[in-house]
Structure 1
């Protein structure tokens, strides 16, 4: 069975329609030599001369005239197949760790939609460990998390800075252990923070254990305890109390984008995502906000 070269078929149809190798080369953005090579290859494949060329005339041979209509149909079918692939709606699932937060989420969604309106974007906010488990099982396309010592295969989106936060009226008496709110299991950020407390010989106790970062944020906002947050996403109504209570300064971390997607369309979406995040990222402020009612969000963009 003979397999035809689409580029060669397109070259033949262009020559046949323009009746000129020079004009065909210009239309295809190539040279006369290149289209001559493609035409000869096609003629070898079909076993017939398709174009008769003299110094003063370019015309179809009898076989070329017979082949022209099927050649056009082949090109049209090829174009429909390519258009169908490029316009098909595709699902893109993105996980964002709750400790990273999502103040950038509206910007990310808007940029992804502008880049590819045929993406159905699913956004999930969850604890980093659960997201990584889902990601490693191939159930989510990409995740945004803080850098982990065991995960160095991602793209760095930018730095992040942390502080101790509590409500303005939170009461702590000298000599008493600091009352901490933590997720269960405790996140890596808080583990780093408690090690800093131990190194500074400051006593602490876990007053509140919640399932996930949102529960911890609620506990801190309610005045039950203090905890560690990125300065970008500190709970509403809280203030940083690092200096007020003489708490240890915390080291910065890096925000990472992890994905194993390799097809061209997905890689372009990931590049857009990283660019939008970096453009939105701002130097740390004294307080931020955690987006409410966005624990799991599924957004069909462009539908």
Structure 2
């Protein structure tokens, strides 16, 4: 009877979810070569080719797609068996900046549940500054936030990736001649708001707020409705918006840095947190 290596199965699922050996290795806190070796041994045990590897693409074969469903079931059964003996259910209180995730949030949550069904996730969304304060006050186990260029990185911040902002608008939106630039922004305090307004002021461009939102969903809806333009990252913007910065001669916005703060030490929860970070990086 074939005995499957659960570590190899977990590595396979992570490669399938993240479409990358490198990101899967990071999530498992190991090396890319170690993940590749686990996958080769798993394929040898099964006698099936599960993953197609090219320099730019990692995708599942037909057998890989079929095995992925069973692999998730196997890992879930393993986690349920361990959970039956646990004294308490694990909990992760995570803060996530509204400028970091958007339309991809449902898919991210589904991926987390499939990867770690025994984890109770308590998700807090909000401005980066507020989430950092909550983390410092030990209200959060971890926080993924944005740092703007003038916002110095703290020693405990782990840099995940950089991301540019754009001046996004609805495809049919046009400015009114002779009027200040209409903006849709988050309510202060918001670092993205501050950076964007400073850039406009430095460039001598008149602006006015026509919409202030209490969250990114509201701001994105206002822009999609054609009320105004907004400084947004592509990942949080509604589909279909376009960058009108170059056409309107607006100043380029500096690249933000997305960072992680964490005090998690539990290996299983840390693996899940790395999955969150890596999933955001490939959105």
User: Is TM (by shorter chain) over 0.5?
Assistant: yes
- Label 1:173 to 1:234 Cα distance change in 2 as closer, same or farther (>3 A): same
1:182 matches 2:185: yes
Partner residue in 1 for 2:243: 240
1:221 matches 2:257: no
Partner residue in 2 for 1:131: 131
Partner residue in 1 for 2:9: none
TM-score normalised to the size of structure 2? Answer: 0.61
1:117 matches 2:117: yes
Partner residue in 2 for 1:37: none
Partner residue in 2 for 1:50: none
Tell me if structure 2 keeps the 8 A contact 1:183–1:212: yes
- CA–CA distance in 2 between the matches of 1:233 and 1:271? 20
Tell me if structure 1 keeps the 8 A contact 2:184–2:211: yes
- Label 1:169 to 1:112 Cα distance change in 2 as closer, same or farther (>3 A): closer
Question: Which one has a bigger Cα radius of gyration?
Answer: 1
Superposition RMSD in Å: 2.7
- Label 1:82 to 1:245 Cα distance change in 2 as closer, same or farther (>3 A): closer
Partner residue in 2 for 1:250: 253
Partner residue in 2 for 1:154: 157
- Label 1:90 to 1:225 Cα distance change in 2 as closer, same or farther (>3 A): same
Partner residue in 2 for 1:204: 207
**What aligned pairs does 1:272-287 form with structure 2 within 5 A after superposition?**
272-278=275-281, 280-281=282-283
For structure 2, which runs of at least 5 residues remain unmatched after alignment? 1-81
- CA–CA distance in 2 between the matches of 1:225 and 1:242? 13
- CA–CA distance in 2 between the matches of 1:162 and 1:261? 30
Residue 169 of structure 1 deviates from its aligned partner by: 2.6
Partner residue in 2 for 1:100: 100
Residue 103 of structure 1 deviates from its aligned partner by: 4.6
Tell me if structure 2 keeps the 8 A contact 1:157–1:277: no
- CA–CA distance in 1 between the matches of 2:271 and 2:139? 20
- Label 1:157 to 1:104 Cα distance change in 2 as closer, same or farther (>3 A): farther
Residue 265 of structure 1 deviates from its aligned partner by: 3.9
Tell me if structure 2 keeps the 8 A contact 1:96–1:102: no
- Give secondary structure in 1 for the equivalent of 2:201: helix
Partner residue in 2 for 1:143: 143
Of residues 256, 260, 263, the one that matches 1:260 is: 263
- CA–CA distance in 2 between the matches of 1:109 and 1:171? 36
